[in-house]
Each structure stands twice: as structure tokens, then as C-alpha cells.
Amino acid sequence: MELTPNDERSLRGEHGETIASAYRILVAIGTATEAKKLVPIKWAHLSGVNYNTIGNAGVKFLEEFAEDGTTRVAVKTTVNPMGFDRTKPNNLDENFVKQQMKIVKLYEGLGTSPSFTCTPYEIFDIPQRGTAVSFAESSAAIYSNSMLGLLTNKESSLSALASSVTGKAPYSELRVEEFRHPKVAIKPELKLLTELDFGLFGYFTGKVVKDSCVALDGIRKSKPDIMKTKSLSAAIGTSGTCGMFTSSEEEPTKEVIPFDKTEFNAVRDELSTAEDGNIIILGSPQIGINELSLVVDLAKDKKFSKHCMVFCSRAIFNQASQIGLAGKIERAGCEFMCDSCACLTPLINKDDVDSIITNSVKAAYYMKLFNRTGVALKDLKTIVRDYTN
Amino acid sequence: MSLQVNCRKIVGGYGRGKALVTRQPINFLAMLDTKVGTITDQDHELFGQSVKNVILVFPNAIGSSVGAYAIYSLRVNGVAPTAIVCTNKADITTASGCAISSIPVVDMLEKTLSCMLSSQMNISVDADNGILAVI
């Protein structure tokens, strides 16, 4: 990868150790993705905010990264959810809270926006199509490439951080037009009806596709709503390396892989390990206004019979409060958890619950492998039908 | 005489040790206990095995972007692999996590060797010169 003389100086440490380590990351990922050069980006979105995921090593890294006290982000930078809702009591130990708040301060010190969201595309103004960005948080990267026409690779926490402080990212893979065309298509041989169906379809897709872009048969024609495309994007990001989907109608491919009842059942059985659960968790990716409206419509005047946690960004919660939606959700017996996400939350563990109920394939995956609880996967309509009265 | 092949340097450095080989990708955030370095996913073929001080040979990382921090955690906790060989193409998570953890990474081996590698083989990875050797 070719670097400008100024980039070379940065890499050698002439602009401080923080910028040098950012450049070391950019050079490594630029080499891995065969980039010819670095290009400017307009927006970085960082993951690696939740203490539950980055732990003490993450805190140590960020402390060292921010040590000079002068490094600031060079472009608009938003951040992923943290571990809990600061406005609510929680059962977390003192150390967790202390370390989490340290992380929050370190990111704020770098000049990032305290967005604590995994769905920045639902909150912030979207740049015009074709704009290069750098999004960690795989679900946001895939959604932004596929639905919004932004240009990002499926970045890591560290590569997006490196791009945020340098304002640059490798010109490679999904930032280059020729890589944004699929070689393989996945064709559903059954009707995808619910957001859960789209999630299971996405999880299968991520597993079998090795390229950075895939065609999904019928995806534009069926006009899936945002709940479905969020679910799809998050699931693709969970199981693989693919960073973008397009549609077979627009871009036919030679190779077509079927997704039939057998494949559907196999991924469902892998992730849905329980028939029922102790609590319901909604919001992975964090819930949006339209999903909240749907919950209100479906629940009507009924109340949830099990504890239902709704994970949400602060911005969406405030919006929902203004239009009276949040109150309706709370009156139905749900509890909002802002600034955090259902997936990788420290608030739920196997000591307290055997199994959780969710409509999110991504949450199911991490609950099973990381939080180690059982999972009952059901779509939102079924959840509201089965657990309200 | 050792068997040598060319490979591509992603993160420089040199490492030598026993190989731990899998054909399955790894989600570093979800499948590993970064405190002790063992693979905790029961469905993974490396379940129960440790990545500490081995040459980890695997296709590429999948899933979470936070996997990069998980790799760094392995380093801080003293249980990191000595070097990493990606038999597919090194991905952004692996490359960035190893870049700040000073774990040498190579990829793009010749296909034949990539198939021949198996756990317990003694391997050296000279990332700076792009050479992998079975000793």
C-alpha cells in the first residue's frame, strides 16, 4: 500500500505514538485487503465500548491510546452501546460500573459522540450514497453498504478507531466499486415472512458466503421493512465475513445456493436451544421507532406476562417518549434499557436465567456462546401473542 | 532439511512452535476464554484446546468486530498464540488485533501446504521474509 510522505512520518511516530499505532493498524489491514492507498472517510463508528466485551485489556489499550491527551478524532465518530443504562439501578458489581465509566470517559476524551448505539443509521443524518465511511459493528456496516449505499469494509473495533483519529481508511474491498458486485447468490426456496425468518436466512448466508458481497434472491422485490433488513444485516454479520448484500434481480450470478426448509431448520435448531424462557429481550440491533409502534399495536391493551427488556438507544427512547410511544410500551409491562444492547449485555447471565426469549438471531448467538443461556427464538408477533394477556 | 513455502506478511515478526490447526473459522469474541486462551465453543473442532504459545493455523476470523480486542486480551493475559497463519485470507479483525498485539501474521500459503499442515507439527513463521517452514 502506498503511503504519502506525511503518512510515512505518522507511521514512524513523528506525530506521536497514538497516531503511529493507528497507522500500524491501517497498514496491516491495508495489506490484508490489498489496498493500493488510503482514502479520506467522512464518518467512523466504533465498537468496543461495552466493558463486558473488551474487559481490562481493552481499558488498558484505550488508556494507552489516549495517553498523550491530545489525540482527537479527525472525523465525525459515533460509538456502540455500553454495558448498561446509567439512569437505572442494576445488579452489576462496583468494579464493572467503574471500569465501564472509565471507558466512556476515554472515548469522550477522544472527541467521540456519546451515541451508544449499534444503529447509528437510524439516528444520524446519512451522507449521500457513495460516501466512504468506516464502520465497525458488523450489522451497521452491512446495513449501510447494502441499504444506504455507503462505502465501508466490515471493520474491526481497532481499524475503525484507527480511521477515526486519522480520517483515513484503506481503499480496498467494499470501498472499491468493482468489489461491490456479487459472484454468488443465495435463493430462499421458502417464503421469508417474519424478521426472524430474515435473521435465519442471514445467518445461513454469512456462514456459506466467503466473498465480501452476496446477492440475495428476491430481496428488493419483496420490499422488506427496516425491521427485517436490520435483522438480516445483523445475522449476516454474526456468522461470517461478508459485508454487503445486493439483489439477484439487479445482479444475476452464475452460482446460486438454495436456502430451503432443511437449511432453515438446521440454523434454527443450532440457535434456538429452548422451547421457552424466563425473560423476553427485544432490541438487537437496538429497537427502532417502527418496531416500538408494532409492539404497541400488537399488544393493544394487554400486558406482558414475563419480564420484557427493550434495548434502545437514548435518542430513539427520547423520540419515542415525545410521541407517547415509550409510555405505552412501559404500560404494557416492558422495561427500557437505553445506551445498551441485548446482545452481549452483562445484565443477563446463566446464574439468573436458564433461557431467554428473543426475535434476534444475533442476540441468540451471543446469548448461547457468550452469556451461556438457553434461547427460545420466536418472531415478534408470536412473542406478543404468547406472552401478553 | 525443512519444508519451506512462501507466504504473505500481514504483521511482521518471527514465531516458532507447535501448530494448532483448524479448518473452521473463529469468532474471537464469542468462542474463546481470553483469560486462559481456551476455545469454549462446544461445536468448534478446537473445543477445549488452548491457543497459548502455539502457531494458530485457521482460515480467518468471523463475526464480531470486537474480536480485535479479544486478540489483544490474549496478549495482555499472556495466553496469545506465538504467530497466526490464515489459510484463507487474513481478515481485518485478525490483522488489526495482531498489529497492536505484536503477533506475527501471514496468509496466502500455497494451497498444497495449507492442506498438509496439522496440529502438533513444528512450524516457524518468518513473517518479515514471508517464509513458513515445517521443521
Asked if A58 reaches chain B (Cβ–Cβ under 8 Å), the answer is yes
Q: What angle do CA A119, A122, A126 make, to 5 degrees?
A: 110
Residue numbers in A near B96 (CB within 8 A): 25, 28-29, 156-159, 162
H/E run at residue B65: none
Asked if A361 reaches chain B (Cβ–Cβ under 8 Å), the answer is no
Measured between alpha carbons, how far is B40 from B29 in angstroms, rounded to an integer?
11
pLDDT higher than threshold 90 for residue A89: no
> How does pLDDT run across A112-140, given as a tens digit for each residue?
999 999 999 999 999 999 999 999 999 99
pLDDT higher than threshold 80 for residue B2: no
H/E run at residue B86: strand B83-86
Give the SS3 label for residue B95: helix
CA distance B13 to chain A (A): 13
Comparing alpha-carbon positions, the chain A residue that sits nearest to B33 is A370
Q: Could you give the residue numbers annotated as active site of B? A: 64
Query: In this structure, what DSSP letter does residue B26 have?
Result: B
> How does pLDDT run across A1-59, given as a tens digit for each residue?
999 999 999 999 999 999 999 999 999 999 999 999 999 999 999 999 999 999 999 99
Look up cell 497514538; give the residue: A18
pLDDT band with cut points at 50, 70 and 90 for residue B54: very high
pLDDT higher than threshold 70 for residue A336: yes
Q: Please give the interface size between A and B, counted as residue pairs whose CB atoms are below 8 Å apart.
A: 131
pLDDT higher than threshold 80 for residue B111: no
How many other β-carbons are positioned within 10 Å of the β-carbon of residue B7? Answer: 23
Q: Which of A324-328, A348-352, B75-79 has the lowest mean pLDDT?
A: A348-352
> How does pLDDT run across A238-255, given as a tens digit for each residue?
999 999 999 988 889 999
Query: In this structure, what DSSP letter does residue B51 have?
Result: -
According to the model, what pLDDT value does residue B1 have? 55
For an interface test with A, the pick among B33, B64, B77, B87 (most A C-beta atoms closer than 10 Å) comes out as B64
CA distance A162 to chain B (A): 9
pLDDT higher than threshold 90 for residue A302: yes
Annotate A360-387 with b (16+ C-beta within 10 A) or e (fewer): bbbbbbbbbbbbebbbbbbbbbebbeeb
According to the model, what pLDDT value does residue A33 have? 98
Please check whether residue B18 is in contact with residue B51, taking contact to mean a CB–CB distance below 8 angstroms.
Answer: no
* CB spacing of B69 vs A369 below 8 angstroms: no
Quote the mean pLDDT of chain A.
Answer: 97
pLDDT higher than threshold 80 for residue A73: yes
Backbone angles phi, psi at A310, to 5 degrees: -115, 110
Task: List A residues 21-50 in contact with B (Cβ-Cβ < 8 A).
Answer: 21, 24-25, 27-29, 31-33, 47-48, 50
CA distance B67 to chain A (A): 7
According to the model, what pLDDT value does residue A160 have? 98
Q: Which amino acid is at A74?
A: A
According to the model, what pLDDT value does residue A312 have? 96
- Domains of chain A in start order, with CATH, are 5-177 (3.30.499), 181-269 (no CATH), 272-386 (3.30.499.10)
Comparing alpha-carbon positions, the chain B residue that sits nearest to A153 is B92
> How does pLDDT run across B88-104, given as a tens digit for each residue?
999 999 999 999 999 99
- pTM to 2 decimals? 0.97
H/E run at residue B52: none
Average pLDDT over residues B15-25: 97
Q: What's the CATH number for B3-134?
A: 3.50.30.10
pLDDT band with cut points at 50, 70 and 90 for residue A90: confident
CA atoms within 13 A on the CB side of A194: 14
